[in-house]
Amino acid sequence: MLTVILQISLGIMAVSTLLYVIRVIKGPSVPDRVIALDAIGINLIAITALVSILLRTSVFLDIILLLGILSFIGTIAFSKFLEKGEVIENDRDR
Amino acid sequence: MQLLHFAILSPFLFAFFIPFFAKYAKKIHTGWFVLVLPILLFIYFIRMLSITMAGETVRSVLEWIPSLGINFTVYIDGLGLLFALLITGIGALVVLYSIFYLSKEKEQLGPFYVYLLMFMGAMLGVVLVDNVMVLYMFWELTSLSSFLLIGYWYKREKSRYGATKSLLITVFGGLCMLGGFILLYIITDSFSIREMINQVHLIASHDFFIPAMILILLGAFTKSAQFPFYIWLPDAMEAPTPVSAYLHSATMVKAGIYVIARFSPVFAFSSEWFWIVSLTGIITMVWGSFHAVKQTDLKAILAFSTVSQLGMVVSMLGAGAAALHYDNTEYYTVATMAAIFHLINHATFKGSLFMAAGIIDHETGTRDIRRLGGLMAIMPITFTISLIGTFSMAGLPPFNGFLSKEMFFTSMLRVTHVDLFNVQTWGVLFPVLAWIGSVFTFIYSMKLLFQTFRGTYQPDKLEKKAHEAPIGMLISPVILVAFAVSLFFFPNILSYSVIEPAVSSIYPTLLDSHEKFHVHISQWHGFTAEVFMTLGIIVIGTAGYLTLSKWKGIYQLFSEKLTLNRLYDKLTIGMEKGSYQVTKRYMTGFLRDYLLYVFAAFIILMGSALVFKGGFSFSTEGTAKIGVYEIILSVVMISATAATVFAKSRLTAIISLGVVGYTLALFFVIFRAPDLALTQLVIETISVALFLLCFYHLPKLRWKKKTRTFRLNNFIISLGVGIIVTLLGIASSSQRTKDSIASFFTKHSHDLGGGDNVVNVILVDFRGFDTMFEITVLTIAALGIYGMIKTKVNEEGKSVEPREDK
């Protein structure tokens, strides 16, 4: 029963990811894509969690944490890039 | 190391001290020091005559590279000794002449004598060693020292041109000869010429026989200025006259003749040898003498004359090979005797003629016969020398040239009786061509003599006031012409001392050990065909010379455009241009094109290997079931890849690439590789960040939002690479022959490595070396990036502060 539910959930997550990917490809603006990418990251967390339940293993829990951090950092970096034109500012410029 | 080895190497050792003499003993002409050596060597070799006259040989081995069979083996027989005597004897005379020819103050004497001694040693090495590899080494040393000597006045453009040309042609021949030697080594498994002669039957039946023969003959023909490789010799006349006299008439150009004679026992029993050698020789003879008539420069006439006379010697050596085909030994060996005899004669008269030409050049300032004339009364001794030299060259009595020319005709007439490849039908050409060549020889000899010394003296056309040469300059040519005259009257002093041993080393197998070749050179044979041929030459030649101005027009037919020189120039320039064009064509400077070559080569090589070697196979055995997640992830990855390729802006491409990376991480999750997934995620994020960094720094002006233009080439190539790699992947997974070693790692990771994470245990324990160097790679990359950003060098090569970003 659990397996079926997990598989259905995974299917839903996959469809959702696919739709985000369409958004990433189509755009139309860069922020759209960045947000889509961020959402894909969150979806990936969910998929990883579901997969690790399905595979009955705990070794992927690190990845969930890492994905959370990275997707946050990535989105911040993109946002900063879009806002200021660069990711890491030079101290001397201030 | 015996005295013999020392004799060959002594010029090199002596050359080492020459710069010291040249520098610290400036008051004495350096040539005087040099003169000692060839005289001593000449005396040393004269004393060996008694050995070869007795039909014995000297062999002495000095080990050099014994593991490869390359030893410095000196072997002295009649042939080698004859050449050694020529080299040292004429060498001594040339050094003596050069002392008076080259000015102590104006010229750089040190280099001149160093090169000359180098040449002398190399030449002695060529004629006296038995090991072909050592022979080849000395052979190339003669090419090199000849190159240095021709380019002695390196500030003149023509000297440099002549030197380059001679080097290119002779080294081409030398390399061919090396190939021939190696083939002989493959056949006989020995580098020794003696051994090769002993294994003649093995060589004769081998497939490499003809290639080896042709390659060695190519070497000999280029060195001896045979048709069509003679073209370097006239241009080598830019060398100082002593060099021309020594290298380009008496010794170096005879190295090829030496090789032909030396390898006669190995090859001469084949009819191809007879044909190639004699035909090349006779063509060279006619061609050279024909072209000598049109020259106006003294040394150019002499150069073409050398070409012609060498052709004559070569044709006689070829004709002598007939002796191996027929029982009638005496009948055909005359040709070889004549060749040896003419070799000596040519060295005497040509050496003296070159020296005379040098004297005229030295005392009048020109070598152009159109500006010379009427020197008979002004330079009587030089005139006498030239008279004897030219008459001997033309083949007139009472000089030695007459004798060898008579023998030449005899041997050519006898060739008509040879029946190899239907020589009988064509053989009649030999005496006819020989006769025509001799007529032209007569004409240019007379032209050389009379247009220089007869006629009117034209002081206004000359740079200097003509006068007789100093006595020192005249000694050497006088000695040489004295030989030329005395050899006519007493030719048989050479018969059994020099010629017979040389001939018996050319035909080592023809006679029994105690027998000797019958050599008798006589001035008069009675009224034979040869005498009438000579008479005809004198009559026709005189008529031809007197009417020279009338038929000179015939040379217009051979316009400059059709000469071999022109061909050489076109060839060298053409090759240069051609290779430039080819290089320019494919070295476009665009990375795109180079990648195209790399990938195209990959497709062709891999594809043809898969197709022709039957490398492709497809089996689904052992493959896992495809799950629904994999399909979905694949669709995501493919669409993200397509998005990267067809993206309209760079930012889109970067983001889609990120998607590809993350999907890959997900694949790692599904395929149960947590460590890989972790690393992939982090690295992908960093890479995307770096891409963004680069994206920002792209120059503003050229920053165009442009989609990649579609190129059919690129499409085909990328499709091809994709297909090939896919096929390769399928093929390699379908035919796994051995089991994986993974079970070892999973089994022993805990007890041997002390850890449960198998991936990490492999990385740091089982295969820690890889990890160490991966760390090194990362360190290098980091240091490199730091270096690139921090150290900037301006155009003058000084480091500058990094540019401040705005």
Confidence of residue B709 (pLDDT cuts 50, 70, 90): low
Smallest Cβ–Cβ distance between A66 and the set B658, B672, B682 belongs to: B682
Does B281 score more than 60 pLDDT? yes
Residue A94 is predicted with a pLDDT of: 47
pTM attached to this predicted model? 0.81
Q: What share of chain B is helix, strand, coil (3-state, %, to 5)?
A: 75, 5, 25
**H or E segment at B62?**
strand B58-65
Residue A72 is predicted with a pLDDT of: 87
Does B212 score more than 50 pLDDT? yes
- Cβ pair B693:A55 closer than 8 A: no
Residue B179 is predicted with a pLDDT of: 93
DSSP B411-464: HHHHHTT--SSSHHHHTTHHHHHHHHHHHHHHHHHHHHHHHHHSS---GGG-SS
DSSP A36-87: HHHHHHHHHHHHHHHHHHHTT-STTHHHHHHHHHHHHHHHHHHHHHHHHS-S
Does B61 score more than 90 pLDDT? no
User: How far does Cα B270 stand from its chain's mean position?
Assistant: 26
Whether A4 and chain B come into contact, CB under 8 Å, resolves to no
What's the token pair of residue B732?
A: 């390699």
Residue A40: closest CA among chain B residues belongs to which residue? B659
Residue B757: closest CA among chain A residues belongs to which residue? A59
pLDDT, average across residues B765-784 = 93
pLDDT, average across residues B258-284 = 87
Whether A59 and chain B come into contact, CB under 8 Å, resolves to yes
- Cβ pair B666:A30 closer than 8 A: no
| Diameter over CA atoms, chain A | 61
Residue B703 is predicted with a pLDDT of: 45
Does A39 score more than 80 pLDDT? yes
What's the token pair of residue B531?
A: 């005498």
Chain B positions in Cβ-Cβ contact with residue A47 (cut-off 8 Å): 666, 669
Confidence of residue B147 (pLDDT cuts 50, 70, 90): very high
Chain A positions in Cβ-Cβ contact with residue B629 (cut-off 8 Å): 10, 14, 51
Strand partners, B799: B793
Does B173 score more than 90 pLDDT? yes
Mean pLDDT over each residue of chain B, to the nearest integer: 84
DSSP B627: P
CA distance B699 to chain A (A): 14
Residue B466 is predicted with a pLDDT of: 65
Whether A54 and chain B come into contact, CB under 8 Å, resolves to no
- Least-confidence region, from B216-220, B322-326, B365-369, B765-769: B322-326
pLDDT, average across residues A23-49 = 85
Query: Testing the interface with B: which of A51, A61, A67 to mutate, by most B Cβ within 10 A?
Result: A67
- Cβ pair B666:A81 closer than 8 A: no
Residue B136 is predicted with a pLDDT of: 93
Rounded CA-CA distance A48/B584 in Å is 55
| Cβ–Cβ pairs < 8 A, chains A and B | 93
Residue B103 is predicted with a pLDDT of: 81
Whether B655 and chain A come into contact, CB under 8 Å, resolves to yes
- Cβ pair A25:B640 closer than 8 A: yes
Rounded CA-CA distance B233/B300 in Å is 9
Does B771 score more than 80 pLDDT? yes
Confidence of residue B178 (pLDDT cuts 50, 70, 90): very high
B373 compared with A9, residue with greater pLDDT? A9
CA distance A51 to chain B (A): 7
Whether B652 and chain A come into contact, CB under 8 Å, resolves to yes
Does B235 score more than 80 pLDDT? yes
pLDDT, average across residues B480-493 = 83
Residue B783 is predicted with a pLDDT of: 94
Residue B604 is predicted with a pLDDT of: 92
In chain A, pLDDT over 70 holds for what percent of residues?
Answer: 89
DSSP B396: -
Smallest Cβ–Cβ distance between B688 and the set A24, A40, A74 belongs to: A74
Whether B670 and chain A come into contact, CB under 8 Å, resolves to yes
